[in-house]
Amino acid sequence: MRASKFLIATLKETPADAQIISHQLMLRAGMIRKVAAGLYNWLPLGLRVLRKVENIVREEMDKSGAQEVLMPAIQPSELWEQSGRWEMYGGELLRMKDRHGRDFCFGPTHEEVITNLISNEIRSYKQLPANFYQVQTKFRDERRPRFGVMRAREFIMKDAYSFDINAESLQGSYDVMFDTYMNIFTRLNLGFAPVEADNGSIGGNSSHEFHVLADSGEDAIAVCEKYDYAANLELAQALAVGGERQAPSAEMTKIDTPNQRTMDDIVKSTGLPIEKTIKTLLVKGSEHDVVALILRGDHELNEFKAEKHPLIAAPLTFIESDKEIIAAAGCSAGSIGVVGLDLPIIADLSATNISDFACGANNDDEHYINVNWGRDCEEPEAYDLRTIIAGDVCSRAGDDDSADAKITIKRGIEVGHIFQLGTKYSEAMNATCLDENGKAVVMHMGCYGVGVSRIVAASIEQNHDDRGIIWPEAIAPFDVAIIPIGYQKSELVQKTCDNLYQQLSELGVEVILDDRKERPGVMFADSDLMGIPHRLVVGERSLEKGLIEYKNRRAEESEDLNADDILETIKTLLKT
């Protein structure tokens, strides 16, 4: 590509509305332009990268045996009514009507369409397992579109859906996709980790997210280096802290705590460490109106874990109005405690582990100290209710190695998600096929997403410096930039550059020759900003010495290469 014929749309200034580095650099390098919130134009430079990502994903999916299809972006409401999601799916679903007044949506995902398609096309277990994928535009009316293409409303996803005769076979299809995703993200040269993720009702080891580790990531991940464990914070198992529960050592005593409503107030007035206090949260129950959840004073409730408990209503709903709280506990929110509380009580593992603790006395402005489970109130049901924190012991550790199996919290960008759906959609939409005995059975499904456009931004988060993007070779928009010094003035320079451009192109190397009438400084800056991995500078003075200057985008210094064997050298550098 000649730069004079290519839309180079670099910007000097950092656009004010771009908060994270990838968004800033995608705008500055001239890869994308905003159309409206969460909607972007891809410029030629950006599209070259997007296509490379797409191709790697496609090649690995094809290798895995998956078959490519293409489904429509617009989907009829009838299919969503069959799955029950027309009502369930919230504001992210963009709904619309056609000229006949029929309801449609712009697909945020394609479970309904593929399940409907495959239930009509696949008849026999002999056609299974099968996996179908597409690379396609999705629309989700995100509450907070931001960070450019990282969290857009319209974006490109690779989505795949597997069909199996039973759960065991689904596990096999899932494992193949797990390995495929490892290959995809490795080829993309990303620093990533597979992360155990929440799978709602199905449970087991049946959902993983793939995260690119970056400080700008929107998700928090619990990581233990020692056990190579990584789990979504929503899911990560939090063990009881504090060792075995100590025996009671003092009598329970009621104290006056006028106007003290928060744990901090109680800690200050009693002088007790916060680890010796508990807090009580009231939520809606599934069998009882209200259930009390108990956590140690310094721990946070994990809502995702809580709502999986059979006695707790999902979605988790706090009892918030003073009237309801007083009706349930006999006092206002800051004074609730476990002694004499006439509600079902579920306590976090760490909260059941303490002795001689403080809690509210179920009377305004009064608390108890030196409360002990089993002595002053009933032993509660112990359940993992809290969010794991840095310094907690990894759930994979045994007693003897717990000291060096500590959790750290890292930030991640979710670039992929694999998920065992089981029969959720196939049952609702009656997707059956005949088994070995000629009996109709409901197929087991998995779904597998890759955020193709998000990957472009995620890669930049990990590969940049103060001069711009540093593309990994696998997805660089061009392999080599040729920068002439005096292209318009020197015949020798022009001829050398043109030859080099042609010969490299013939070898399949993607070259951008900067034949614009720009100062060398501008061309260098643009090439660095756009992140081209290899740069050749062709000038008359060097050519007279038989040299061409070469610089790797990652290197500090340039080096002189012999002009005569420049092609061979580049071939070696690019391993073509």
Q: How far is the CB of 454 from ligand ATP (least distance, A)?
A: 4
Count of CB atoms within 10 A of residue 160's CB?
Answer: 28
**Residue 144 CA: distances (Å) to CA of 36, 86, 148, 150, 153:** 13, 22, 11, 11, 9
Nearest residue (CB) to ligand ATP, 106 versus 155: 155
Strand (E) or helix (H) holding 306: helix 303-306
Nearest residue (CB) to ligand ATP, 151 versus 516: 151
- C-alpha Rg value of the chain to the nearest Å: 30
Nearest residue (CB) to ligand ATP, 151 versus 296: 151
User: What is d(CA 520, CA 518) in angstroms, rounded to the nearest whole number?
Assistant: 6
Determine the Cα angle at 283 with ends 278 and 285, to 5°.
125
The contact set with ligand ATP (CB under 6 A) reads 109, 140, 142, 151-152, 155, 157, 414-417, 449, 451, 453-454
Question: Are 352 and 241 a contacting pair, CB within 8 Å?
Answer: no
Residue 404, token pair as written in the block: 């060096």
Q: How far is the CB of 155 from ligand ATP (least distance, A)?
A: 4
Query: Which residues lie below 8 Å from residue 434, measured CB to CB, with a gap of 6+?
Result: 123, 124, 125, 440, 441
The per-residue DSSP string of 19-76 comes to: -SHHHHHHHHTTSEEEEETTEEEEPHHHHHHHHHHHHHHHHHHHHTT-EE----SEEE
Taking alpha carbons only, the member of 515, 419, 430 closest to residue 181 is 419
Question: Are 228 and 408 a contacting pair, CB within 8 Å?
Answer: no
Q: How far is the CB of 18 from ligand ATP (least distance, A)?
A: 16
Q: How far is the CB of 92 from ligand ATP (least distance, A)?
A: 8
Nearest residue (CB) to ligand ATP, 212 versus 429: 212
Nearest residue (CB) to ligand ATP, 202 versus 252: 202
Q: How far is the CB of 167 from ligand ATP (least distance, A)?
A: 21
Nearest residue (CB) to ligand ATP, 383 versus 425: 425
Q: How far is the CB of 374 from ligand ATP (least distance, A)?
A: 42
User: What is d(CA 206, CA 188) in angstroms, rounded to the nearest whole number?
Assistant: 24
Q: How far is the CB of 51 from ligand ATP (least distance, A)?
A: 17
Taking alpha carbons only, the member of 262, 298, 532, 266 closest to residue 392 is 298
Nearest residue (CB) to ligand ATP, 211 versus 553: 211
**Residue 552 CA: distances (Å) to CA of 97, 244, 459:** 53, 58, 18
Q: What is the residue type of 154?
A: E
Nearest residue (CB) to ligand ATP, 124 versus 186: 186
Q: How far is the CB of 218 from ligand ATP (least distance, A)?
A: 7
Q: How far is the CB of 197 from ligand ATP (least distance, A)?
A: 9
DSSP SS3 for 453: helix
Lookup result for tokens 């993992």: 384
User: What is d(CA 549, CA 530) in angstroms, rounded to the nearest whole number?
Assistant: 19
Question: Are 10 and 530 a contacting pair, CB within 8 Å?
Answer: yes
Q: Is 422 left (phi over 0), alpha (psi -120 to 50) or beta?
A: left
User: What is d(CA 139, CA 229) in angstroms, rounded to the nearest whole number?
Assistant: 33
Q: How far is the CB of 120 from ligand ATP (least distance, A)?
A: 25
Taking alpha carbons only, the member of 53, 12, 384, 303 closest to residue 187 is 53
Nearest residue (CB) to ligand ATP, 413 versus 563: 413
Nearest residue (CB) to ligand ATP, 41 versus 246: 41
Nearest residue (CB) to ligand ATP, 125 versus 192: 192
Nearest residue to the partner ligand ATP, using Cβ: 451
DSSP SS3 for 402: helix
Q: How far is the CB of 47 from ligand ATP (least distance, A)?
A: 16
Nearest residue (CB) to ligand ATP, 139 versus 524: 139
Q: How far is the CB of 453 from ligand ATP (least distance, A)?
A: 6
Nearest residue (CB) to ligand ATP, 173 versus 363: 173
Name the maximum alpha-carbon separation found in the chain: 97
Q: How far is the CB of 52 from ligand ATP (least distance, A)?
A: 17
Q: How far is the CB of 140 from ligand ATP (least distance, A)?
A: 5
User: What is d(CA 351, CA 384) in angstroms, rounded to the nearest whole number?
Assistant: 10
Lookup result for tokens 């009514």: 81
Nearest residue (CB) to ligand ATP, 142 versus 303: 142
